[in-house]
Amino acid sequence: ASAPIIVAIDGGAASGKSSTARALAARFGLLHVDTGSFYRQVCAKLMAQRIAPDQTEPIEAGLAAVTFSTQVVGNTAQLLIDGHAAGDDIRSEQVNTHVSHYAALPAVRAALLAYQRSQPEVARKHGFRGVVMEGRDIGSVIFPNADFRIFLHADQAARAARRAAEGRVDAVAERDRLDTSRKAAPLLCPPGAVDIDSTHLTLEEVVEKLSALIAQKLPPLSSC
Ligand code: CDP
Ligand code: CDP
Ligand code: CDP
């Protein structure tokens, strides 16, 4: 069989990555991999252990001792840490506030690197045609040679309004500031990526644009 297709989607908080990735996964038969949820899960675990982001040694020791595995549920890949799936707490205000501080640490990023790169093989084994993987550094660091690299932009105000409409408390601007300014794998639109400004587009319009692009290489599941 041919190599799994890799669709990489990056962008700031509430730029539409998860909604877009879910729609593309369903349309093209891909495994949806939300790497933001992985960083949230690691953050929640370290916070539960009362390990602060400046405690480098406990963080390194803690992460070296855990086992990462994957549970495929429907068409999404869930990270299991020592066999445990994420709890609802990964979307809490607490995690929203602290996740970027942990995600800036090279030790945390290194711990998740090989795991993320193993996902196309997980997808293949489960009968998917590839992955649609979303995050901040998928097209720049994790899969710089991905079949498709997409960067979603949207105005700060539009993104804050989207989160508010979902009823979530989230300091979108502050997380973007931290994610963009860090040294390790900063949030950026990598050279050569397809750059989409979704400020004035509906989710459906974004999905249609990207589907047209992907369909040039991979026929949608519904077509014959
Ligand atoms: O859903 P939202 O875009 O608000 O955030 P997320 O994708 O769940 O990511 C949460 C946080 O994890 C981000 O603000 C980043 O600090 C970090 N992250 C990262 O550093 N690299 C990734 N590939 C994905 C997320
Ligand atoms: O994953 P990320 O944080 O980048 O965004 P999301 O969780 O997909 O949330 C984006 C929210 O904005 C969802 O409620 C979408 O329905 C909405 N939205 C969008 O994603 N794209 C648009 N062009 C317009 C609205
Ligand atoms: O080592 P393994 O065979 O598990 O992985 P790989 O074949 O190196 O990577 C699987 C896919 O990820 C291939 O399509 C590579 O081109 C891509 N890849 C990438 O885009 N950037 C990397 N730094 C590593 C792998």
Residues 98 and 115: their CA atoms lie apart, in Å, by 22
Query: What was the pLDDT predicted at 171?
Result: 85
Q: Does 217 appear as a known binding residue? A: no
**pLDDT < 70: residue spans in the chain:** 1, 223-224
13 within ligand 1 shell (Cβ under 6 A)? yes
**Rg, Å, the chain Cα set:** 17
Among 143, 148, 218, name the best residue to mutate to test ligand 3's pocket (greatest count of ligand atoms within 8 A of Cβ).
Answer: 143
Contacts of 20 (CB under 8 A, 6+ apart): 9, 134, 152, 203, 206, 207, 210
**pLDDT recorded at residue 29:** 97
Domains for the chain: give ranges and CATH numbers. 5-214 (3.40.50.300)
Amino acid found at 9 = I
**Atom 22 in ligand 3: residue holding the nearest Cα:** 143
14 annotated as ligand-binding: yes
State the distance from the centre of ligand 2 to the C-alpha of 16, rounded, in angstroms. Answer: 3
Give pLDDT, residue 1: 62
- Tokens matching residue 31: 């495994």
21 lines ligand 1 (CB under 6 A): no
In short, whether 145's Cβ falls inside 6 Å of ligand 3 is: yes
Q: How high is the pLDDT of residue 170?
A: 80
**Would you state the pLDDT for residue 2?**
81
pLDDT tens for 66-118 read 999 999 999 999 999 999 999 999 999 999 999 999 999 999 999 999 999 99
Residue-level pLDDT at 169:
80
* H/E segment holding residue 130: strand 130-135
Q: Is 161 annotated as a binding residue?
A: no
Q: How far is the CA of 136 from the centre of ligand 1 (A)?
A: 6
Residues 6+ apart with CB under 8 A from 92: 44
Q: What is the DSSP letter of 136?
A: S
Q: Helices (DSSP H) in 52-171: which residue ranges? A: 56-65, 93-103, 106-117, 119-125, 156-165
Q: How confident is the model at residue 13, as a pLDDT?
A: 94
Q: How far, in Å, is the centroid of ligand 1 from the Cα of 36?
A: 4
What ipTM was assigned to the predicted interfaces of this complex? 0.90
Strands 148-153 and 194-197: parallel
Cα 115 from Cα 135, distance rounded (Å):
14
Distance CA 123, CA 130 (A): 6
